[in-house]
Structure 1
Amino acid sequence: MRATTRLTLTATISASAMLLAACGGGSGSSGSSASGDSASKEGGSISVRGCNPENPLIPGATTETCGGDVIDAVTARLVHYNVDTAKPENDIAESIETQDNQTFTIKLKKGYKFSDGTEVKAKNFVDAWNYTALSTNAQGASYFMEPIEGFADLQAEEGQQPKAKTMSGLKVVDDHTFTIKTTDKVSNLPERLGYSAFAPLPDSFTKDPKAFGDKPVGAGPYVVESWTKNQSIVLKKNPSYSGSNKGSLDQITFKIYQDSSAAYNDVMAGNLDVTDEVPSSAITADKYKTDLPDRNAQKEYGGISTVTFASAKADPAVQNPKVRQAISMAIDREAVIKSQFNGTRTPATGWVATTVNGYKAGACGEFCTYDAAKAKAKLQEAGGFTGKLTLSYNADASHKDWTEATCQSIKEALAIDCVATPVVDFKTFRTQVKKREMKGMFRTGWQMDYPSIENFLTPIFATGASSNDGDYSNAAFDAKLKEAAAATDSAKANELYQEAEGMLKEQMPSIPLWYPKSTIGWSPKVTNVKISAFGKPDYVGIKLK
């Protein structure tokens, strides 16, 4: 949650769904991501920083990192993304084969178990994906099922019933084999299947989905022992785990914090073992390196920080593309990065992370380059802007300082009354965004769900997409996405996706800000602490000294 679609809580960018992960900082080279593990031991328990999941802990409902961190530990999917490279590696899948990029045959490993001891079978995937896709189930990650033939028949307007409850493109062949047929060719479908929305669900799920959301049953290395709302989520090692990504620890407790600085202070005091976010106050002048000597790491990952404009339904005042372009040119990214992040960001020149397959610099053109004079001229061309412009952020992570600095840059360049506006926590913030109650601008970010340029475009900007918070809609853009997905050659597909990305600057549905690095810190008692290619701590791999 976010691969896949992860909106992220923190000041860097999750994802999944849908939009940021951890802060930047580091312990040495930018590629460094792990502590040593030469003196590690098996078992034991640790506590790590957590945050309030936006939704029940159902794979198809979880599109943000607060719930996604838990889902990643308790589920297994057809493929597993390599911690260091994000390369897809078969997990529950024995094989994934296709001759035409439209019909795929999936064979499962025999004997792979859920945490309740039942075997993972083909029907558990087919039933789970149908449940996620069915519009009446209101699953946030349903969009990931759209390429499958018959998805449209499971969609209906609110208050209406869909024509079907199962997708025609999914067929169970036998207990360990099923097929996927997509409406159009999808060249990167195998890479997508490691996202959490594609996790299988046990037969017991349909008996009580609500209870499952509090205490999910998965096939991953850990199980949810308890979830005390607003306080903690406790994971225990799964005794039935059948895969190769085993955890060392007996217990992992996600302690839920409303303030990232409090979590950081607890790590320094030894009251918390891992924090996935280093607050900006510690990033400044590399203070965290002194606070946590030899107990910090930094790594670039597939993510981006952005600011999204409210939809027309929520705020008609910010719909003029020229106003949006002017605001973007009024943001001095270099200055904000220097003052707020101690240089641990890189100014964004487009909407796709630099680390993913298909990235191309410069998609945003001049509109992502700070130029106060051009910004003023563009605003005059638009007819000006009157009233207050809010830049909202969730107050339970380190966003206050950089949002205020960003607003100050806009004020100085355009004389617009820009006000950084806090919302109590990520769950409340995302609820307001989803209900189209958020006005002006609001912070967003994206943690890749899978390492492809497509993942930074389709889920966020396709018409009606699940993470399309600004309701951007462009028929030509949608057509280009479809053309790219049908390409059989990956280089050609990337070229077409790059053309689609270039269209975004015409309406500027969001403002690219910067590409982040993830910075984490840990206590003296743990080792083998690594940052994954998705910018999150590899909780399953952590060990005690």
Structure 2
Amino acid sequence: MVAVNGTEPQNPLVPSNTNENGGGRIVDRLFAGLRYIDAKGALHDEVAQSIETTDQQHYRITLKPGWTFSDGSAVTAHSFVDAWNFGALVTNKQLQSYTYQPIVGFDDVQADPPRAQAMSGLTVIDDLTFTVDLTAPTIDFRTRLAYAPFYPLPAVAFKDMKAFGEHPIGNGPYRFADGNAWQHDVQLTVVPNESYRGGRPARNKGLIFVFYSNFDSAYSDLLAGNLDVLDTVPDSAIRVFEKDLGDRAIQAPSAQNQWIGFQANMPHFSGEEGRLRRQAISMAIDRARIGQKIFHGTRIPSRDFTSRTLPGYDGNLPGAQVLDYNPEQARRLWAQANEIAPWSGRFEIAYNADGGHQAWIDAVANSVRNTLGIDAVGAAYPTFKQLRDQVVHRTVGKAFRFGWQGDYPTMLQFLEPSFLSGSETNDVDFHNAEFDRLIAAAEAAPGEQESWRIVGQAQTVLLRELPAIPVFDYINSAGYSRRVHNVVQTWNGLADFENIELR
């Protein structure tokens, strides 16, 4: 068994209701979708035999024969269609329901009360074939099919979904270990799934996800030989981890970033006054210095709202100068905002204390305070859940740390959930018709190059309005023990779990 770090999943392990890292890394081991993403970010068909479309709007999907779930039941077209319909239906309250929005009939199952129980854009042709109709051409839909909400579910899941999530039955490279596999708040154990037929079979005898409340404890266990793989080295060890681990230390860029967000009900941060203040704060942050001092170069100043590891990334977009450290311009912008309404109060940045964010948030607050001459401080919340609850319910009342870790490797996947009108994860309440139109145009583009060009235009709108402040991209630091080898970091900063081998 290989011991890897993790965190207690927030919910039972249902793919359409798992939207956080701790549960996501487990769900992706237990299930196989139509496609999968390899460590380098390349896509491969998995359960899909073919995904045919002539217009990026109407799809015919054929499954490979012979796939089964780990309980022996067959993976069929209904396994996918029924799972997607369950995930989309508003009464099921699935956290990932927004991902089905492009499918015809989504609005009907999301109505309150729902006008239908299933999306009309999904049609089962036979056991191995189904069709998908979208409301508009969607260039990255084939890529999205590798994402967890599009995984299949066995028929038994729909009898009691909550109970199923406590002991899920999937079709992926691993299955739950026999016995007490999930020891809540302690660990979860998976073993190879003998019936898996895809391109990422387990090369080890199983994984033990050990749940940690902080990375310092995990790093201590790694050094002591009690943990085999740690995908995030804590800030406290960045300076020494390469010396500690030698050739077992890993550093590589990953599709992750950090932002500072604002909600419209925050005093002084709505309208033109708010836009000027956000621009001023952005230009008051010395990203390069903080990235070097706190993270020893493992955080890079953001140049856009996505990640430099993604296809089509452009670090020289019009308006990107708002992300430059420019104290003089920051003070001028702050003064312009004061002409609209004089500043009063304290500028606070909320962060979760259990995520290793205090040092850089305090450094950002210091940079803002020293540049603008205002009282700026970090505001700690004990847990990620406590912070997220206030952000989601719009009661946080202050700026807040948030970020994105890629679920599939497209720039649109970073932009749409966080900034598109109507998205349930648009925590900054950004609503801009020009941005929405450009995103729709990027999705409808005939090819990737054209789509990337339009994404750049959409990001120019974000850089002008600055609903959130991009701060850092990641160079992820990880490490592993002497017990294992062939440890590789994936495109989005996780371990390539299936390919880890014991020595």
Q: TM-score range by the shorter chain?
A: over 0.9
Deviation at 1:201, TM superposition (A): 0.9
Asked whether 1:252 is paired with 2:210, we answer no
Alignment-derived partner of residue 216 in structure 2: 261
CA RMSD in angstroms, aligned pairs only: 1.4
Measured in 2, the distance between the counterparts of 1:51 and 1:438 equals 24
Measured in 2, the distance between the counterparts of 1:197 and 1:516 equals 25
Alignment of 1:473-492 (within 5 A): 473-492=431-450
Asked whether 1:305 is paired with 2:288, we answer no
Asked whether 1:325 is paired with 2:289, we answer no
Q: Is the 8 A contact 1:390 1:439 kept in 2?
A: no
Asked whether 1:63 is paired with 2:19, we answer yes
Asked whether 1:218 is paired with 2:173, we answer no
Deviation at 1:165, TM superposition (A): 1.3
Deviation at 1:219, TM superposition (A): 0.9
For structure 1, the 5+ residue unaligned runs are 1-44
Asked whether 1:380 is paired with 2:331, we answer no
Measured in 1, the distance between the counterparts of 2:131 and 2:7 equals 37
- Judging by fraction of residues, say which structure has more helix: 2
Deviation at 1:255, TM superposition (A): 1.3
Using the size of structure 2 for normalisation, the TM-score is 0.95
After superposition, the C-alpha distances for 1:265-316 in whole angstroms (9 at most, x for unaligned) are 11001111111111112113xx10111122111111222221111x224x34
Alignment of 1:394-413 (within 5 A): 394-413=352-371
After superposition, the C-alpha distances for 1:474-503 in whole angstroms (9 at most, x for unaligned) are 112111111221121222222111111110
Alignment of 1:439-450 (within 5 A): 439-450=397-408
Q: Which has the higher contact order (CA 8 A, sep 6+)?
A: 1
- Matched position secondary structure for 1:80: strand
Alignment-derived partner of residue 50 in structure 1: 6
Deviation at 1:464, TM superposition (A): 2.0
Q: Is the 8 A contact 1:53 1:427 kept in 2?
A: no
Q: Is the 8 A contact 1:303 1:534 kept in 2?
A: yes
Measured in 1, the distance between the counterparts of 2:159 and 2:371 equals 58
Alignment-derived partner of residue 248 in structure 2: 295
Amino acid in the other structure paired with 1:306: W
Count of aligned residue pairs for this structure pair: 493
Asked whether 1:176 is paired with 2:128, we answer yes
Asked whether 1:196 is paired with 2:152, we answer no
Alignment-derived partner of residue 494 in structure 1: 452
Alignment of 1:312-351 (within 5 A): 312-313=264-265, 315-319=266-270, 320-351=274-305
- Matched position secondary structure for 2:355: coil
Alignment-derived partner of residue 15 in structure 1: none
Q: 1:165 aligns with which of 117, 123, 132?
A: 117
Amino acid in the other structure paired with 1:196: A
Alignment-derived partner of residue 101 in structure 2: 146
Q: Is the 8 A contact 2:305 2:414 kept in 1?
A: yes
After superposition, the C-alpha distances for 1:194-253 in whole angstroms (9 at most, x for unaligned) are 011110111111101111222222111112342222222222222322223111222311
Measured in 1, the distance between the counterparts of 2:190 and 2:395 equals 35
Measured in 2, the distance between the counterparts of 1:330 and 1:424 equals 27
- Matched position secondary structure for 1:292: helix
Deviation at 1:468, TM superposition (A): 1.1
Deviation at 1:467, TM superposition (A): 2.2
Q: 1:141 to 1:304 in 2, by over 3 A?
A: same
Alignment of 1:37-116 (within 5 A): 45-84=1-40, 86-116=41-71
Q: Is the 8 A contact 1:257 1:396 kept in 2?
A: no
Measured in 1, the distance between the counterparts of 2:268 and 2:328 equals 23
Q: Is the 8 A contact 2:298 2:477 kept in 1?
A: no
Deviation at 1:431, TM superposition (A): 2.6
Measured in 1, the distance between the counterparts of 2:337 and 2:385 equals 35
- Matched position secondary structure for 1:54: coil
Asked whether 1:389 is paired with 2:347, we answer yes
